[in-house]
């Protein structure tokens, strides 16, 4: 069974995000970048399926500038067998990413495609769904448990007020939720070994995909600064403030 895992390079989740002075975008100068946390969970799930003898090959794919190779090397160190970078100047929008992933799916013919449910930079939560629509494959989104049976993948999803379990015919698209697993750290010898694993670079033109954006970011703003709180001396003072200053009662 062949697995394809989509891995996005994003700003590290520990970094406090800064906005460019002209509010055109987030400032990525000298900022630590990492694998999107949900993609890390996708890689971990693929590696576990391989360790259980269910999967035989894991291919990691990332779309974006050359620097994405760093995250692909991490995926290789975590256990992917080979990697594909689809080289673009900037990060394309979700539809272009989904079309590029479809082109890779058409070539690679994986049995299962695992993506993160969401990239923490764009918060789009739509690439997996778009890929499923473009390929016509069944989708199990926000997976908190995945198990493979003869020709099917069972996906348990956290939904409002409970759990839903779906059975999808393979090949299928699955997107990962936070509780699916706890990703491991890459060990130093595996990081060294990953340098020798194959990493193929592809161009969107050669895959027949137009990556032109269909939307424009108009403006990016920092969240509004919260005002400091005040300490009140008594319940009466609190009630007075709520009534006459905040005017909420």
Q: Which residues bind ligand AMP (CB under 6 A)?
A: 6-8, 36, 38-39, 42, 62-64, 91, 94, 97, 115-116, 118-119, 122, 124-128
Length of the chain: 249
Tokens 């495609």 identify what position? Answer: 113
Minimum Å gap between C-beta 43 and ligand AMP is: 10
**Pick 17 or 241: Cβ nearer ligand AMP:** 17
Minimum Å gap between C-beta 145 and ligand AMP is: 18
Residue 139 belongs to what H/E stretch?
strand 139-149
Spell out the alpha helix ranges (H) of 88-126. 94-108
Minimum Å gap between C-beta 234 and ligand AMP is: 49
Minimum Å gap between C-beta 173 and ligand AMP is: 10
CA distance 114 to 129: 11
**Pick 62 or 135: Cβ nearer ligand AMP:** 62
**Pick 77 or 115: Cβ nearer ligand AMP:** 115
Contact residues for 144 (Cβ-Cβ < 8 A; gap 6+): 156, 157, 158, 163, 177, 178, 179, 180
Minimum Å gap between C-beta 166 and ligand AMP is: 19
> CB burial class (10 A; 0-12, 13-18, 19+) of residue 95?
middle
**Pick 39 or 155: Cβ nearer ligand AMP:** 39
**Pick 91 or 142: Cβ nearer ligand AMP:** 91
Minimum Å gap between C-beta 120 and ligand AMP is: 8
CA distance 90 to 64: 6
Residue 179's nearest CA partner among 57, 55, 44 is 44
Residue 71 belongs to what H/E stretch?
helix 68-78
**Pick 128 or 138: Cβ nearer ligand AMP:** 128
Residue 116 belongs to what H/E stretch?
strand 112-116
């Amino acid at each position: 069974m062949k697995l394809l895992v989509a891995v996005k390079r994003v700003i590290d989740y520990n970094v406090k995000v800064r906005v460019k002075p002209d509010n055109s975008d987030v400032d990525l100068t000298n900022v630590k970048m990492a694998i999107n946390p949900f993609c890390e969970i996708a890689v971990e799930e693929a590696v576990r399926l391989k360790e259980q003898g269910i999967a035989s090959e894991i291919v990691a794919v990332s779309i974006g500038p050359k620097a994405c190779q760093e995250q692909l090397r991490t995926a290789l160190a975590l256990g992917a067998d080979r990697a594909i970078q689809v080289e673009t100047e900037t990060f394309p929008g979700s539809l272009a990413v989904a079309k590029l992933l479809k082109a890779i799916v058409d070539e690679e013919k994986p049995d299962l495609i695992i993506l993160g449910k969401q990239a923490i930079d764009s918060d789009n939560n739509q690439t997996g769904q778009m890929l499923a629509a473009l390929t016509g494959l069944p989708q199990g989104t926000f997976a908190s448990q995945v198990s493979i049976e003869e020709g099917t993948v069972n996906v348990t999803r956290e939904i409002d007020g409970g759990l839903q379990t779906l059975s999808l015919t393979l090949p299928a698209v699955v997107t990962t939720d936070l509780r699916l697993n706890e990703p491991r750290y890459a060990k130093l010898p595996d990081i060294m070994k990953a340098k020798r694993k194959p990493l193929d670079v592809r161009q969107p033109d050669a895959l027949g995909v137009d990556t032109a954006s269909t939307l424009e970011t108009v403006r990016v703003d920092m969240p509004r600064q919260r005002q400091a709180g005040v300490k009140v001396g008594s319940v009466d003072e609190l009630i007075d403030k709520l009534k006459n200053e905040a005017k909420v009662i």
